Structure 1
Amino acid sequence: MSQTTRNAASDPDRPSFLEELYQGRFRWDLLRDFPVQDPGDARAGDRLVEELADLLRERVDPDELDARRAMPEGLPEELGARGYFALQAGPGTGGRGASHYNTFRAVEAAARVSTPVALSLAIENALGASAFLPVVPEGPLRELLAGVVRRGGRSASADSEPEGAANQRRTTTATRIEGTDDYLLNGRKVFVGHAPVAEVVSVTATVREDDAERVRIFFVRTDSPGVTSGAWHEYMGIKGFPNGRLEFDDVRVPGSQMLVEADSGHVIRQTPATARLVTRGRLHLIAAPALAVARLCAGWSRDFAERRIVDGRPLSDYEEVQRQLADTLAETFAIESLAQWCLLPDDQDRGLNLRYEQTAAKNAASLLGWAIADRTTSLLAAEGYETAASKRDRGAPPIPLERFVRDLRNLRISGGVDFQIDNWIGRLSILSYYYPEPDHAAELLTDGPAPLDTDGTVLSPRNLGHLRTVAAEVHRFGRTCLELSRSHPVKDELLAKERTLVLLAGIARELLCASVVLARASALSAAGDDGGQALADVFCVSALQRADDLRRRLHAAPGPDFAAVSDAWTSGAGFTFLDPHTVRAEESHA
């Protein structure tokens, strides 16, 4: 990648709709030809999903898995033997030769049965041995990974450390052994999916080369001397998903098992290969389970609203319930539309750079999925809070909403905590286009965007209005970023305002999702299906309201002294009446 790009995700040879949006330009021409899965590939995906769903229905009792905190005996081995851990690898390597989108569809189908099973599939296909095969050159390392894939073995990716995943530097180190090409690996990793069961793990470590530190990836056999696999992490949800810690104590790793990559020219926390895999992999790890739960919630909400009678009327007759049902359907449509936009153009080699959208999809999908599950819990009232076993015992439909809510909360944390992802997007992507000032600064200061070309666009009058509003809001977003950069000539001063960065990323996310939903609704209508028009209308109204609220907060007058409150609490100098370890006078006399 050219070192003249504004950030590590940019590609001067491949345009990006969201990259343009960050710069205040609404490139409808990039989005309006919304991708549709090739019919042959769709049929292959149907067969794959049906086959996997049949297997899981036969082998998995998801409530029992949750209660026992363990996969069914032999299931992981069967999934590996059938090539589900290498969905995109070729049949000659033991894979299924699936497309990006069919891989997503398979993980989503698994997630409708069991989130832990789906995460096992996602980990292997997003960050496991098979995922690295396309970026590893011929040689011993490729042979090592290909062997794992052919055997249907399990692998892991170890990046997070006890010191925290957000640090740029990795405290795990790899030191070259003098006179050899080998390295000694030392450090600890935590929250590693498949750590307790993997035979090979990719490990990020700091290496000193040419008087500079770089993060490299090493592939380590877990049976190597000095590798210790710790106890499983126990989470509030995703019970039975193998996740734990790894320790490396003077582990000798051949130099041939280090992945050497070209320097991107940008300071990034991960290696370029890992960054690319994680970016797209989050669709499988995060968006697929979020979409699965959203679909289930939509169905459960419909069934409950129809069978529950309040004062002689079905719950579905009440205006507020109708609004909530419509929001759930529209948001489910948005998650699916975003997943299609993030994956299908890669399958169809459209020459687009989708890394920005794939990064934004993590928060978009997890936050929308969580909103849907939370709304469904409230709609179902006590029945939404009740476990499936309790419902079964009293003869009510045993909807496992409680289990899925526990599982779903993980998605806002896994792959990067939601607010921190927004902080990074604002810091590393959005503001990179305003320091130095962009060439089109004068254009951003005009009253409105360039005229919108809607040729070939098939939208209802209301949705055409939403489209024009989104275009205007994208222009206003660019102007806002420019004004912020001009009012903070020293970039670090603006970077220190993390809430500003979070709000900017949130506005951009809402505008992206509204744009994608409108594009898909247009494509569906062009093919004779107008069902997306109503869903796009519902979604855009809410998304634009959320964006407007975020903008108001962005421009609000200076607020309270949050730092003073926080500092007083963390230093122990204030608010002792709230300290759980302090006995207040009124309590001591009780």
Structure 2
Amino acid sequence: MAPPTRNATSDPDRPSFLEEVYQGRFRWDLVRGFPVQDPEDARTGDHLIGELTALLRDRVDPDETDSRRRLPDGLLDELGRRGYFALQAAPSLGGHGLSHYNTFRMVAAAASVSTPVALSLAIENALGASAFLSVVPKGPLRDLLTDVVRRGGRSASADSEPEGAANQRRSTTATRIVGTEDYLLNGRKVFVGHAPVAEVVSVSATVREDGADRVRMFFVRTDSPGVTCGVWHEYMGIKGFPNGWLEFRDVRVPGELMLVERDAGHAVRTTPATARLVGRGRMHLIAAPSLAVARLCVGWMRDFAARRIIDGRPLAQYEEVQRQLADSLADTFAVETMAQWCLLPDDGSGTLNLRFEQNAVKNASSLLSWGIADRAMSLLAGEGYETAASKRRRGAPPVPLERFTRDLRNLRISGGVDFQIDNWIGKLSILSYYYPEPEDADALLSEDGAEPDLTGAVLDPRNLDHLRYAAAETRRFGRTCLQLARSHPDREELASRERVLILLAGIAREILGMSLVLARASAMSGSGDESAQPLADVFCSAARHRVDDLRRRLDAPPGPDFAAVSAGWMAGTEFGFLDPPSPASPEPTARPEENHA
């Protein structure tokens, strides 16, 4: 039986703005009523954010956490007792019943103090026991998770493996024990957030069912016989975040602790429930700390530019500095806008499918914030590259940009490396709408298409021009995809052209960012607030340059033979002059009896 949708992210009952873009259709009507957080919901979030911020300011010295590579003793226990690991769970379970957006705001507030603390909050609320409560039916598994949540316990989600997270199949296996409903779990997982401190972990594993391999999710107590929790991973940044590896050797797991889901009919790397949680969860794990760092950076840039005088002239009066500041402010506005779009409607009627946008905003938020931090590093120059401790010793403002830059780099890797995320989006989502060929193919290729409906756009002339550009590029995007598909009748042949897919995903992401920023600016102006118009103009002007560059790369004639260069290097037969010099042989270590120093 053919799957009911083109891909695993689509929902036939709910439209998606980005899904429409993938098909070359610009649906301004889907975004023009940009959502605004309910005031009462905002006040609820404000209150809890105040409590969390006060706690962290009192308990956490982020520079000490970074140097010790450990969170303060007892902090995780206190976060659990306060219900911060179950922000969206019902108060009857010890949670706070927060909306998705308030949960995002809580993580962002924590990230403005300490990224490791924010990631602990995010991992529990995005992929922990409380998150799975929303998809697990009544029964023993739900009872297990409910107990963890009610006690403020800790959990983890284990999916990545030493062989690589990008593999479709999971090397970890679960084998049915003959004559029982139980399974034996065997395998190893790496990069598991909260692995060193969790009491329950969800584990993805390959199960052989009816002659076919399927990925299922098993929930395992970490004190079960055969479970080994390895040492913590030590990263370049996010030092103090409990993260490590787990090994499972003939771990017996009751069948009732397996999450059984309907087969969606699409080849996916994780189970459907986990895929949904991961999509939204990246908003908490990636977008929230990205926004927090972006906000910190623009504040530090303003403070630095305000106190610095160069040749008798305030730094903020120099043209390039003004551009750096404006671009950074506009990008921060864009990250916040995309987060609001991805989460605020998710708390309401549920009439939109936001999963496509949530997948794309992982890259959009982390890449934009990385650019902001990079500008801040350049503007602050030595004071950016210098550690906070070093600044403090010489009496300079101890801005921790160095630490946050190390933390921020993780966000382009966590949840999927940035270029690979784009590759997956291109392969699994974008191509799915052109194989088989869409019914409106001829209309898509026509240059005489109807003008896009931009009704309700309250935008100044420059931003209205940006909106028309986004609409025109959307239609052009659809034509390009169709032409690529027609020139590659074999889908797998086009799917193997990874750079093409990455460029396509990048163009669609820029169209999304422009459209949402313009929709929010329009909605704000409709309410009498014109302050977003200049930010939208700055962001869209830069986005158009990025789209034009991506388009040039996509349309360029065949270029260098990258494969030959790579193959020669991998074979060790070419470019030996680029090999690093051989290190000098280390001095032999003296035996204890020979060490007379």
**TM class by shorter-chain length?**
over 0.9
Matched residues in 2 for 1:355 and 1:27: separation?
16
Structure 2 CA distance for aligned equivalents of residues 536 and 321 of structure 1: 19
Structure-1 residue corresponding to 2:76: 76
Q: Distance in 2 between matches of 1:350 and 1:514?
A: 23
Matches within 5 A, 1:26-425: 26-425=26-425
**Deviation string, structure 1 residues 243-271 (Cα, Å, up to 9, x no partner):** 00000000000000000000000001110
Identity across aligned pairs (percent)? 76
C-alpha separation in 1, matches of 2:104 and 2:30: 23
- Report if the CA contact (8 A) 1:334-1:513 is conserved: yes
Alignment partner of 1:15 is 2:6: no
For residues 538-565 of structure 1, what are the alpha-carbon distances to aligned partners after superposition, in whole Å with 9 as ceiling and x for unaligned?
0000001101100100011111100001
Secondary structure of the 2:267 match is coil
Question: Partners of 1:571 and 1:448 in 2: how far apart?
Answer: 52
Q: Which amino acid aligns with 1:171?
A: S
Alpha-carbon distance in structure 2 between the residues aligned to 1:370 and 1:320: 19
Deviations 1:312-335 (A, max 9, x none): 011100000000000000000000
Please tell me whether residue 578 in structure 1 is matched to residue 550 in structure 2: no
CA, structure 1 residues 448+473, in 2 after alignment: closer, same or farther (shift >3 Å)?
farther
Q: Which amino acid aligns with 1:359?
A: N
1-side partners of 2:36 and 2:221: how far apart? 41
Give the whole-Å Cα distance in 2 for the aligned partners of 1:438 and 1:551: 23
1:372 and 1:318 map into 2 onto residues whose CA distance is 18
Between the aligned partners of 2:261 and 2:454, the Cα distance in structure 1 is 43
In structure 2, what is the equivalent of residue 451 of structure 1? 451
Secondary structure in structure 2 of the residue aligned to 1:165: coil
> Contact between 1:2 and 1:264, CA under 8 Å: does it hold in 2?
no
State the SS of the aligned residue for 1:134: coil
Deviation at 1:395, TM superposition (A): 0.6
- Could you list the per-position Cα deviations for residues 66-96 of structure 1 after superposition, in whole angstroms to 9, with x for gaps in the alignment? 1111111111000000000000000011111
Question: How many residues end up aligned between the 2 structures?
Answer: 584
- In 1: Cα distance, 2:507 partner to 2:455 partner: 27
Render the CA deviation track for 1:105-162: whole Å, top value 9, x for unaligned: 0000000000000000000000000000011011110010000001101100000000
Q: Deviations over 1:564-583 (max 9, x none)?
A: 01001111111111122569
The TM-score, its normalising length taken from structure 1, stands at 0.98
Larger mean CA deviation between 574-583 and 112-121 belongs to: 574-583
| Whole-angstrom distance in 2 between the partners of 1:533 and 1:252 | 59
Q: Deviations over 1:262-286 (max 9, x none)?
A: 0000001110000000000000000
Deviation (angstroms), 1:4: 2.3
- Cα distance change on mapping 1:342 and 1:545 into 2, 3 Å: same
Q: Name 2:429's counterpart in structure 1.
A: 429
Runs of 4+ in 1 over 4 A off after TM superposition: none
- Cα displacement string for residues 163-209 of structure 1 (whole angstroms, at most 9, x for unaligned residues): 00000000000000000000000000000000000000000000001
* Aligned residue identity for 1:173: T
Contact 1:237 1:403 in 2 (8 A): yes
CA–CA separation in structure 1 for the residues paired with 2:126 and 2:378: 34
3-state DSSP of counterpart to 1:189: strand
State the shift of 1:450 in Å: 2.7
Q: CA deviation at 1:350?
A: 4.0
Distance in 1 (alpha carbons) for counterparts of 2:208 and 2:544: 48
Which stretch has the larger CA shift, 411-420 or 456-465? 456-465
Runs of at least 5 residues in structure 2 that lack an aligned partner in the other structure? 584-597
- 255-264 vs 452-461, which deviates more? 452-461
Question: Secondary structure at the residue paired with 2:551?
Answer: helix
CA RMSD of aligned residues (A): 1.2
What's the counterpart of residue 476 of structure 2? 476
State the one-letter code of the partner of 2:384: G
Unaligned runs of 5+ in 1: 584-590
Q: Deviations over 1:454-489 (max 9, x none)?
A: 332211111011001110000000000011111111
SS at match of 1:46: helix
Secondary structure in 1 matching 2:190: strand
SS of 2:133 mapped into structure 1: helix
Tell me by how many angstroms 1:453 deviates: 2.6
User: Contact 1:449 / 1:472 at 8 angstroms: preserved in 2?
Assistant: no
The TM-score with structure 2 as length reference comes to 0.97
Contact 1:448 1:472 in 2 (8 A): no
Structure-2 separation of matches of 1:306 and 1:135: 50
State the alpha-carbon separation in 1 of the partners of residues 202 and 581 from structure 2.
43
In structure 1, how many angstroms separate the alpha carbons of the residues matched to 2:265 and 2:410? Answer: 33
SS of equivalent residue, structure 2 residue 344 = helix
What is the alpha-carbon distance in structure 1 between the residues aligned to residue 521 and residue 184 of structure 2? Answer: 55
Question: Residue 439 of structure 2 aligns to a residue in which SS?
Answer: coil
Q: Kindly state the Cα deviation for residue 446 of structure 1 after the two structures are TM-superposed.
A: 1.9
Give distance in 2, aligned partners of 1:387 and 1:236: 14
Quote the offset at 1:493 in angstroms.
1.1
